[in-house]
Amino acid sequence: MRDRRGPLPALAAEKLRREGALALLREAPVWLCVTGLTELGLRARRRVRRARYRRAGMVAVPDPTATIDVDPASVERHVALSRFDEASPRALLGVVRGGDWDRGLPRVEAQPKYRACAARVEGESWAETGIIDRLAAELAASDAETIEHGCGSRADIVRRYETEREDLYRTLRDEGYDRSLSPVCCRVHVGRDGDLLFGSGGRHRFYLSRLVGIDTVPVEVLIRHAEWQSVRDAVAAAATVDDLSPAVRRHLGHPDLREFNLGGADLRHLSHGRPRPGGRGRWV
């Protein structure tokens, strides 16, 4: 499933959720001006990029505003933003890029916030997971005035975890994923072999969704590897499944291919991806 949403309203809603109505109202004029100009710049860059991709013969030009549904358990590796030159993750939405950026990646389970979320799901308090101590130490050692979405002190970090993070955990555990509250869970990359790789945004939402066993979450796609894009182009250009090579056909069922119509075939049931432990398919 693919969805499109207006970036500026979504960003305002996220700021409201994270920092509250007073912060949004107090900072609204400057925030709207800066965010609006940034959004205009991003849109201009995206138009130029999409035109360049079309001129290069790309068939399935990525839509940077679309979301796809993925199984959190299928996202097994993490890509640090430091691998790329762009300062903003949103500048990477809809990008196609070759190279080895999808190689030699750490597992999601190795990330400190994932380990903290796993410990909380297992019954430890947020303080006992060690994440508060870790973030407080990072704040003390940093030149930045805040960390973790506006936390300027250890007390702020404690409040963030004991209120917002705890509410998020309990809601996901007890009620599941609510798309009306979070239209996008996080952002992912797609590697050369179709591997879904965690990129940015919504770490706690994604980690906790994965840990409590939620089957599907909506994500935005940042960079697609050029080799994976060739698979998308082949599927987009084909009239039926029979037109595809075996190398491409094995990817059918991938979440990033479901937008294409191959003679009316339901691509969700054509996956030849590797199964994961526990009997769950690689793709949702």
* Per-residue confidence band for 26, with pLDDT thresholds at 50, 70 and 90: low
- The rounded distance, in Å, linking the Cα atoms of 31 and 25 is 10
In this predicted structure, the answer to whether residue 249 has a pLDDT above a threshold of 90 is yes
Mean pLDDT estimate for the chain: 84
Nearest CA to 224 out of 60, 72, 80, 24 is that of: 60
In sequence order, the β-bridge partners of residue 196 are 75, 190
Q: How confident is the model at residue 41, as a pLDDT? A: 54
pLDDT in tens, 182-236: 999 999 999 999 999 999 999 999 999 999 999 999 999 999 999 999 999 999 9
Most confident range (mean pLDDT) of 4-8, 36-40, 53-57, 165-169 is 165-169
* pLDDT tens digits, 38-72: 555 566 677 777 788 988 889 999 998 899 999 99
DSSP state of 241: G
Tell me the whole-structure pTM to 2 decimals: 0.81
- What does the CA dihedral 241, 243, 247, 252 come to, rounded to 10 degrees? -20
Q: Coil, strand, or helix at residue 95?
A: strand
Tell me which H or E stretch contains 69: strand 66-70
The answer to whether residues 95 and 225 touch, using CB atoms and an 8 Å cutoff, is no
Spatial contact of 221 and 257, defined as CB atoms under 8 Å apart: no
